Copies of this chain bind each other. A is one copy, B any other.
Amino acid sequence: MSSSRPRRDFPNAEHDHSHCAAHALGQADLICEARGVRLTEIRRRVLEVIWDSHVPIGAYDILAKLNAGGGRSAPMAVYRALDFLIENGLVHRIDSRNAFFGCSHPEEPHRAQFLICNVCSAVAELDSEALHETVRRTARTKGFRVENVVIEASGRCPNCARKSAP
């Protein structure tokens, strides 16, 4: 019995990321529709920009991409869109990088843990309830009632590990 449900693995070199992005956007539409929340223009564009990047992207980099075509958005617009996207589980924040990353399985709320490559910045999202439970249980032994857990491992992704030290 493993409660670990891997969702977004490290991409192989050839994968068509635009396909991932398109799928994610479609999912987002459906999810927001179903929940009765509005994926407005700016929110959708921020989500697009996030998915256009295959690595976590900072708020001001998102802003720059939004404005690349002559736009005039301000930081607040991005942060507000991010608030919405995170609240609705469409995007995750990577605390150790001050950066944002599209969730690949936003249909249901979930715990997430991240593996972040120090070389190429690729991210894999884990969804190990076991890991989360281990933290919760350990905390419990100290009388601590867990509300949220941040787990972010950095290191070498499979691709970069192969290159550096076979």
A158 with B131: CB separation less than 8 A: no
Q: CB-nearest residue of chain B relative to A142?
A: B124
Given contacts A95-B95, A96-B95, contact A10 B148 (CB under 8 A): no
A155 with B148: CB separation less than 8 A: yes
Say if the beta carbon of A67 comes within 8 Å of chain B: no
**A150 cross-chain contacts in B, Cβ below 8 A:** 95-96, 150-154
Report the minimal beta-carbon distance from A152 to chain B, rounded to whole angstroms. Answer: 4
- Total copies of this chain within the assembly: 2
Say if the beta carbon of A113 comes within 8 Å of chain B: yes
Say if the beta carbon of A126 comes within 8 Å of chain B: yes
Q: Which of A108-166 contact B (CB under 8 A)?
A: 113, 115, 117-118, 124, 126, 128, 130-131, 134-136, 138-139, 141-158, 161
A142 with B95: CB separation less than 8 A: no
Apart from A113-B138, A117-B144: 18 A-B pairs, beta carbons within 8 A = A6-B142, A10-B144, A128-B138, A131-B134, A131-B138, A143-B158, A143-B161, A144-B157, A145-B155, A146-B153, A146-B154, A146-B155, A147-B154, A147-B155, A147-B156, A149-B151, A149-B154, A150-B152
